[in-house]
Amino acid sequence: MQYRKFGSLDWQVSALGFGCMRLPTVDGKPLSGNIDEHESIRMIRHAIDRGVNYVDTAYPYHEKNSEIVTGKALQDGYREKIKLATKSPVWSIKKTEDFDRYLNEQLNKLQTDHIDFYLFHGLDKKNWINVVLKLNLLQRAESALREGKIGHIGFSFHDRYEVFQDIIDGYEAWAFCQIQYNYMDTQHQAGTRGLRYAASKGLAVVIMEPLLGGRLAKPPAPVLEVFEGCGEKTPVDWALQWVWNQPEVSLLLSGMSNMSQVEENIASADVSGVGSMGAEELNVIERASEKYRGMTLIPCTKCGYCLPCPSGVNIPRNIKLFNDGYTYGDAEFGRGTYANYMAEANRAGSCVQCKACEEKCPQQIRVSEWMRKIHAVLGEGKPYPVCK
């Protein structure tokens, strides 16, 4: 196992961290609460025996059962071998006291007296301002730190780069952050700018979704052809090595669902390193990403000129969900986000066909027509239109 510097802390972290969001389940349903405990514990302990020293979970994972199974896996001396990370369910906190209530519940589920790295989960502008700042949760976290219940304070993030920078600049004692990052997300959410900004401030940067929820592991034929013509690396190895190549990355989290994935990722981590990819290999990644980018239906550049929509529709986000589902062959992810993580007013189905956005779109996209098609696919479950 290779080890890397963890921000400003005097500690070396394994290049690979074990993410407990996608543990194997007995019913075969990803993310369900019916975790296969025996196999999950075997996988986690095997990873630790092979050098992994960072285990990450969260309150809502696997219908609130991930922390319980993770706690069981860390018995018999395994807790002392690793640093443990979990996350405060910010969206569920309604009053300041809730912070301590959830933390104490998590300590009990994890069967430990302290959590090494405690994150505010999934921060965006709304939760940062209306929950963390308004309810003085940073002060509550500092109290927990003084009491020895947590070791370091951090956050995971899902919003625009500008919000990411505001959050980092809004608190001086951040030790680390967790961002979504892979070779297709260099300009999405925090992106490369956020990665470098956080590292410049001394924060350790933990990477989640290095395979974009597994979508980069099984690329479509045009992308696969790029990789197959350039050596024996698998698409998984190409994607992981690209992340580890970045000097600002502290570690990469992988949510593993079976032992073969554990073995494959550990083998990749064993040969990882900053600057390990040369110009030719980086060119392969660029060619693969270009193939992906060419496999979209709507030529949106996310410039934002179409906003604000008079009806409140988040046009760029709807288009991205739609395009991503088509590009990666995974419409279900977009449908879940559309139904569960977007307000009805923000969805494509709320478009009233006023066409105000079309007058401002530099790409001359017929937005009103696409909003109908987007809602049909993401909101009504219909297949993608045959447009190419």
Catalytically active residues, by annotation: 61
| Phi, psi angles (nearest 5°) of residue 78 | -75, -25
Partners of 252 in beta bridges: 16, 207
Tokens 């909101």 identify what position?
379
In whole angstroms, give the CA distance from residue 265 to residue 258. 11
| Phi, psi angles (nearest 5°) of residue 220 | -65, 165
The residue length of the chain stands at 388
Three-state SS sequence of the chain: CCEEECCCCCCEEECEEEECCCCCECCCCCCCCCECHHHHHHHHHHHHHCCCCEEECCCCHHHHCHHHHHHHHCCCCCHHHCEEEEEECHHHCCCCHHHHHHHHHHHHHHCCCCEEEEEEEEECHHHHHHHHHCCCHHHHHHHHHHCCCEEEEEEEECCCHHHHHHHHHCCCCCCEEEEECCCCCCCCCCHHHHHHHHHHCCCEEEEECCCCCCHHHCCCHHHHHHHHCCCCCCHHHHHHHHHHCCCCCCEEEEECCCHHHHHHHHHHHHCCCCCCCCHHHHHHHHHHHHHHHHCCCCCCCCCCCCCCCCCCCCHHHHHHHHHHHHHHCCHHHHHHHHHHCCCHHHCHHHCCCCCCCCCCCCCCCCHHHHHHHHHHHHHCCCCCCCCC
